[in-house]
Structure 1
Amino acid sequence: MKIDIFDTLEEFEKIREDWDRIYCEDQESHLFLSWQWLQKYLSHRHRWFVLALKQEGDAYYCAFLPLKVSTYQDEKTKLFCDEIRMAGNYGADYTGFLCRPGLEDAAADAFSAYIGRENWTTLTFDYFYTASSRLDRLLAAFPQTEFSQTSNERSNSDNIDNTICPYVTLPESWEAYLATHMSAQTRQKLRRFMRMVEASPDYRISHATRETIERDLDTLFRLWRIKWAERKGSKVDRLITLTREMLLDAFNQGALDVPVLWYKDRPLGVLANLLDRQKKTVMFYITGRDEEWTTPSPGLLLHGFAIRDAIAEGYRIYDFLRGNEAYKYSFGVEERRIRSMLVRTLSGRNLRNCLNPRSVEHVYERAVELHKQGALDRAEPGYRQVIHTMPTHTRARYGLAQLFDDKGEHDEAEYLYKGLLATMPGAGKIQHRLGDSQMAQGHYGEAAETFEALLARHPLLSLVRYKLGVALCATGRGEEALSIFTSFEDILSDDPDHMRCKLKAHEAVIRLRAALQGQQHEVPEPAQTPVSIASQPKVLVSPKQTLDASVRLPTAAPLLEPSLPSGISAHLQARPSKPGEAGSRIKH
C-alpha cells in the first residue's frame, strides 16, 4: 500500500474521478464525504490534508481519508498541542473514510499507521457509523497502554441524544408512505393540513431560487436565532456565519432545497435540506419556525411536503441527521447510531515533543499575537516550540530574542541575536537590536562596536548614529562621542527620525562640551594646561580596558540608565515596531 498526501485544492481537483468512483461503490459513503461537498467546505479552511491510498501496481486510488489539524494551547503547561480530526467536523453530521469494498481493514491499517507518524496530542474520530467496523480498526492502532481512549460524545442540556440519527426509508409512493409509516392520527392531521395549504390562497410553499436564496436564508436564521440564541450564547453568530456559508455553497452546487411556508406575507417556517442525488438521500440540516404560530404546524407541514417531493423525485432516504427529538418520530423513522472517540497521548504533549509541521506557522503567528498583547508567559513556549521543531526558523528566534528583551533578560536576547547574525551577517535590524541589548546590560563598549559596524554599512541610520554617540560617551570617550554628535550637522535630511536625533545630538553637544571643559579644569597640579584628549582612531575600546580617570566620564549605574552628562539621554527609541517585525523596541 502507498499513501499520497494532497493538501491543495488544485491537487484535490485531480483526484475527483477516482473519488467519485469510490463514492458510488462504498456502501458507507454519504454526502459529507462526497467530493463536491468537501471541495467547497475545504476551500474555506486551512491545514487540511487528504490521505490517498493506492495498492502497489494499481493506477487508481482505492481509499481516501480527509483530515484536518487544529491547535490549542494547554492552560496548565502553556504548551501548544495539535489535534488531528476529521476534515468535515463542525459542518458534517457524519464522517469516516471512503474505501473500495473489500479493502476496509487494509485501508484502516494504512491510514492509522500514517497518523501514528504525525505529531499530535489528540486524535478525534467523530461521527462514525456504529454499525461499521472501520472506527474499531483505526482505534486498534492506538492501544490503551500507550494512549487514552475515551468517548467524545457531547453533552446536551435538552436531553437530546445526538448519537441517534433517525431516518426514513422511503417507499415507491406517497400513499404507501402514509399507510406504512404514520399513525392514523398523524396521517389524518397531515392530510388535513396539506389540503388546507393547497386549497387556501393565503397559504403557500415557496422554494429558494437564485433570486430569493439570500432572503430565504435570512428568514431561516432570523427564526432560528429567536429560539436558540440564549442557549447557544456567544457562539450563535459564528454558528450562523459558518452554516450559512456551507448552505450557500450547497445551493450553488444544486445540492440544497429551501422550502418556506408562508401565510400571506408572513413566513411561518423554513427548512434547509441537503440533496445527495448519487445516494438518493435527502438530509434535513436545519430549520427555523415562527414559535408564536401553532396551527397548522409549520414543522409537520414542511417535512410532510418535503417527504412527498422526495418520493416523487426518486429519493430513497429522508435523513433527519443527529438528534432524537420527539417530533422526528412522527414520520415513521428508523434509527442509525453514530459514535465519537478521542485518542490522547498519555503525556498530554505532542508525539515526539514536536509541533505538527502544518502547525509551525500557525503557532509562530499565535506567539507573535500573544507577544503583542503582553502575554509573555504564553508567547514564549510558542516561540520555543517552533524553534525546537524547526531550528532554522529565524523569525521565531528573532521573536524570542525580542521577548527576552521585554522580560529584561538581555543576556539571553544578546545570545540569540549573535546566533542570528552568525547566519545573517548583513541583517542590520538584528544588529541594531543586538546593540540595544548590549546597552541595556551596560556593555557600552560592545554596543559601540556593534553600532559603529552597523553605521559603517548604513551611514544614514540616524538613530544608530545617535546611539553610537551615547555608547561612546558612556565608555568615557568624550571626544569621539562629540565627533559623532556634531556629524549630524553634515547630513541633510527631513526624515522625522533624523530630525529628532539631530535635535537630541545638538543638546548633547552643548552638555558634553561643558563636561569635557569641566574635566580639563579638574586636572591636578603641577600641570596647569588643559588635558588633551587624544583623537582616537576608529578602533573602539573594549569596556574591560581602563582609561585615565581624569578623562573618563563616569560609567557607574549601567543598564538602562548610563551615567551621562546632564541632558544626554540614552532613552531615544526607534520607530515603533511589533514583535517579530523589524526595528528596535528597546529604549536607551
Structure 2
Amino acid sequence: MRIDVIDTVAGFDAVCGNWDQVYRDDPDAQHFLSWTWLRDFLGHRGRWFVLALREREPGAPYVAFLPLRLLTKLDDQNGLFYDEIVMGGNYSADYTGFIVMPGYEQKAIAGFAAYLKQQNWTHLRLEHFSGPPERREKMILALQGPLVMFRDNAPTSHDDIDNTICPVVSLPARWDDYLEQKMSSQTRQKLRRFLRKLDGDEGYRITMATPETIDRDLTILFDFWRTRWTERKGPERTERLINSTREMLMDCFKSGTLDVPVFWFGEQPLGALANIIDHPKKTILFYITGRDENWKTPSPGLMLHGYCIHRAIEDGFRFYDFLRGNEPYKYVFGADERRISYTLFRTRDGRNLGGVLHPRSVKYVYEQALEMYRKGEKGKAEIVFTQVLQSSPGHVGAEFGLANLLFDRGKLTEALAAYQSLLERTAEPLPIALRLGDTQLALKLYEDAAVTFHRIGEQAPHVVQARYKEGVALIATRRLTQAETVLAEIQDIHTDDPVAIPYTELASVALERLRQHNAALAADEQIPEGMMGLPGKRGGEKRRPRMH
C-alpha cells in the first residue's frame, strides 16, 4: 500500500469523485467526513493535510482518507513551540476519523499509524473519533510505543452531559409508525395536538430558510442562542463561537446541505433549528438551536423537532441524529445511542517526536519569532529563532534574526561574520546588505561600508537609506567630492516611503554642511568645529532593523 499526502485545494478537488465513492461505501462514514463538508471547512483553515491510501499500482484509486490539521503552540515554561496534530474537522465536527472502503480498514490503520509515527508532534488528538469501537482500539495499538503514551480525553460537562454519546433516531418508513414505535403515548398525543396548530388559524407557522431569508433566520437562531449561553460562556467566547458556526452553516446552505426551520407565532419568532442534511447517508443532523426561553407552550423544541422528523420521514430519510450530548430531551424522540471517543496521544518527554518542529509549522514559528523581535522580546525571539534553525538548518530568516540580535547586543565582530556568510547564499540580499553596511560603519570600517552601500545603490537606486549611508562613509574617508555627489543625487529622489523620508532629511542636512565646509575651504576660512564629523544620528538611524 502507498500513502499520498493531499495538502492543496487543487489536490483536494481532484479526488472529489474518488472520495465520494469511498464515503458512500463506508457504512460508518459521517457527514463531517464528506468531501462536500470538508471542502468548505478546510478552505477557511491553514496547515491541513489529508492522508490518502491506495494500492501501489500506478493509477490505483484511493481506498481510505484521513483528514488532519496541524496546530502549533508555545510552551511558556521553556519558550519553545510544539506541534499538535488534530482531526481535520476539529473543532466544528461532531464526528471525525477516517473513511475507508470495506476490507481495507486494517491496512488503513497500519498505514496511517506508520505515517503519523514518523511525524514531528507532541500531541496527537483523536477527538470526536467515530466508527465502531474496535477501530479506536486498533488505532491505539498501532500508535502506542516507547516514545508515546495515551489516555482517554473525554470532555467534562457542567451539567453532567456525556459528550461521548450521540443520540440517533432510526426512522421508519411511515410517520404513524414512528409515533407508535418511538414515542410515549403522552408525548405522541401532545405532538399531534401541537402540529395540528400549524394547520389551524391560531397564527402558528414554521418557515424554512430560503436564499432571501437565510441571513434573517440565522440571526434569529443566534440571537436566541446568545441569550441562552452568554452568561456561561462569556461574551467573547460566545461571539467567537457564533461567528465560526455561522460561517460553517452558511457554507452548508450554499452547498444545499442545510435546513433552517423557524417556528413563529404571528410575526414573533419562537425558536429555530439548524439541521445539516446528509443526502448520501439519508441522515438529518441536528446541529444547533435557539428558542425564546420565556415561551412555554407549545414547546418550540418539540414543535420544531417533531416537524423536521415528520418531514424527514416523508422525504425518505433513515436517521435523525441529535449529535453529541445525552441531554434528556433527545430521548423523548425515541433516540438510541451511538458512541464516539476522545484519545490523547502524548510524547513521554513532552517535546516533538524527533526533537524538531514539524516542517509544516516552521514558517508559522518563524513568523512568531519575528513578532517577538518587533515587540522587543529579544530573549524570547532568540530561543525561537534558534529552534527554527535547529528544525530547518540553513533557514536564512532565522540566521538573519540571530545576526541582528548579535548586532543589538554590541557583538559587532560576530554580527559582521554572520551577515557576510548570509550575503553569500541568499536570493534576497538587500536587507542583509543594509545590516552588513551598518555593522561596518559601527566598526569604523568606512571603506568597506562605502563599497557595501554603493553596491546596494547600484542594485536598488531608490533605497535612500543606502545612498545616505554611502555618503556618510565617504565623508568619513575624506572623499568629500564623491560624498557631495551622492548626497546631491538623493535630493532628486521623490518618495513618500515613511522609511525613506528621515534619510532624505538627513541627507539634506549633511549636504548643506558639506557645502558649507567646501565653501570655507575655498575661502581659506576656519572650518567650524564638527564640520568634518559624521552627521548626527537621528530618525532612521535609530530604527530597529527590518527583518524579512
TM > 0.5: yes
| Secondary structure of 1:388 counterpart | helix
| Secondary structure of 1:295 counterpart | coil
2:396 matched residue in structure 1: 394
Paired residue for 1:507, among 504, 513, 531? 513
| Alignment partners' CA distance in 1, 2:464 and 2:420 | 23
Give the direction of change, closer, same or farther, for the CA distance of 1:81–1:579 in structure 2 (3 Å limit): farther
Deviates more, 1:167-176 or 1:93-102: 167-176
1:414-468 per-residue CA deviation (whole Å, 9 max, x = no partner) reads: 333122112249824322211223444xx112x5413333325626565445545
Deviates more, 1:494-503 or 1:342-351: 494-503
The alpha-carbon deviation at position 221 of structure 1 amounts to 0.9
- Give the conservation status (yes or no) of the 8 Å contact 1:432–1:451: no
2:232 matched residue in structure 1: 231
- Give the conservation status (yes or no) of the 8 Å contact 1:65–1:97: yes
- Give the conservation status (yes or no) of the 8 Å contact 2:109–2:142: no
2:31 matched residue in structure 1: 31
1:346 matched residue in structure 2: 348
| 1:335 and 2:341 aligned | no
- Give the conservation status (yes or no) of the 8 Å contact 2:475–2:483: no
Q: Residues 515-554 of structure 1: matches in 2 within 5 Å?
A: none
Give the direction of change, closer, same or farther, for the CA distance of 1:511–1:348 in structure 2 (3 Å limit): farther
1:74-106 per-residue CA deviation (whole Å, 9 max, x = no partner) reads: 111111111111111112101111111122111
The alpha-carbon deviation at position 45 of structure 1 amounts to 1.6
Give the direction of change, closer, same or farther, for the CA distance of 1:513–1:152 in structure 2 (3 Å limit): farther
| Alignment partners' CA distance in 2, 1:407 and 1:250 | 54
| Alignment partners' CA distance in 1, 2:43 and 2:407 | 40
- Give the conservation status (yes or no) of the 8 Å contact 1:282–1:318: yes
The alpha-carbon deviation at position 141 of structure 1 amounts to 2.8
1:338-360 per-residue CA deviation (whole Å, 9 max, x = no partner) reads: 11111111222222222222222
| Alignment partners' CA distance in 2, 1:263 and 1:570 | 74
Paired residue for 1:284, among 283, 286, 295? 286
Paired residue for 1:272, among 266, 271, 274? 274
| Secondary structure of 1:324 counterpart | coil
1:18-44 per-residue CA deviation (whole Å, 9 max, x = no partner) reads: 222221221110111111111121221
1:252 matched residue in structure 2: 254
Amino acid at match of 1:32: F
| 1:580 and 2:547 aligned | yes
Amino acid at match of 1:143: Q
- Give the conservation status (yes or no) of the 8 Å contact 1:431–1:450: no
Paired residue for 1:299, among 281, 298, 301? 301
- Give the conservation status (yes or no) of the 8 Å contact 1:444–1:472: no
| Secondary structure of 2:142 counterpart | coil
| Alignment partners' CA distance in 1, 2:428 and 2:386 | 24
Deviates more, 1:502-511 or 1:417-426: 502-511
2:110 matched residue in structure 1: 109
How many matched pairs?
A: 532
| Alignment partners' CA distance in 2, 1:246 and 1:466 | 53
- Give the conservation status (yes or no) of the 8 Å contact 1:123–1:342: yes
2:151 matched residue in structure 1: 150
Amino acid at match of 2:393: P
1:72 matched residue in structure 2: 73
| Alignment partners' CA distance in 2, 1:404 and 1:159 | 55
The alpha-carbon deviation at position 265 of structure 1 amounts to 0.6
1:251-306 per-residue CA deviation (whole Å, 9 max, x = no partner) reads: 12221111100011111000001111211111100001111211111011111111
Q: Residues 437-452 of structure 1: matches in 2 within 5 Å?
A: 437-440=439-442, 443-445=443-445, 447-452=446-451
Q: Residues 132-531 of structure 1: matches in 2 within 5 Å?
A: 132-143=133-144, 145-233=146-234, 234-424=236-426, 427-440=429-442, 443-445=443-445, 447-455=446-454, 458=457, 463-464=465-466, 466-468=468-470, 470=472, 479-480=478-479, 482-483=480-481, 485-488=483-486, 490-491=488-489, 492-495=491-494, 496=501, 497-507=503-513
| Alignment partners' CA distance in 1, 2:4 and 2:467 | 55
Amino acid at match of 1:258: V
Give the direction of change, closer, same or farther, for the CA distance of 1:572–1:201 in structure 2 (3 Å limit): closer
Structure 2 segments unaligned to the other structure (5+ residues): 495-500
| Alignment partners' CA distance in 1, 2:237 and 2:406 | 36
The two structures, once aligned, show a CA RMSD in angstroms of 3.0
Amino acid at match of 2:310: R
1:147-200 per-residue CA deviation (whole Å, 9 max, x = no partner) reads: 121222222223221111111111222222222222222222222222223313
1:560 matched residue in structure 2: none
Give the direction of change, closer, same or farther, for the CA distance of 1:12–1:395 in structure 2 (3 Å limit): same
| Secondary structure of 2:45 counterpart | coil
Amino acid at match of 2:271: G
2:92 matched residue in structure 1: 91
| Secondary structure of 1:133 counterpart | helix
| Alignment partners' CA distance in 2, 1:467 and 1:286 | 63
2:61 matched residue in structure 1: 60
- Give the conservation status (yes or no) of the 8 Å contact 2:126–2:342: yes
- Give the conservation status (yes or no) of the 8 Å contact 1:399–1:580: yes
Deviates more, 1:458-467 or 1:42-51: 458-467
Amino acid at match of 1:171: P
1:585 matched residue in structure 2: none
Amino acid at match of 1:315: F
Aligned identity (percent) is: 44
Structure 1 segments unaligned to the other structure (5+ residues): 522-552, 554-562, 582-588
TM-score (structure 2 length as normaliser): 0.89
Give the direction of change, closer, same or farther, for the CA distance of 1:573–1:84 in structure 2 (3 Å limit): same
- Give the conservation status (yes or no) of the 8 Å contact 2:208–2:259: yes
TM-score (structure 1 length as normaliser): 0.83
| Alignment partners' CA distance in 2, 1:230 and 1:222 | 14
1:569 matched residue in structure 2: 536
The alpha-carbon deviation at position 310 of structure 1 amounts to 1.1
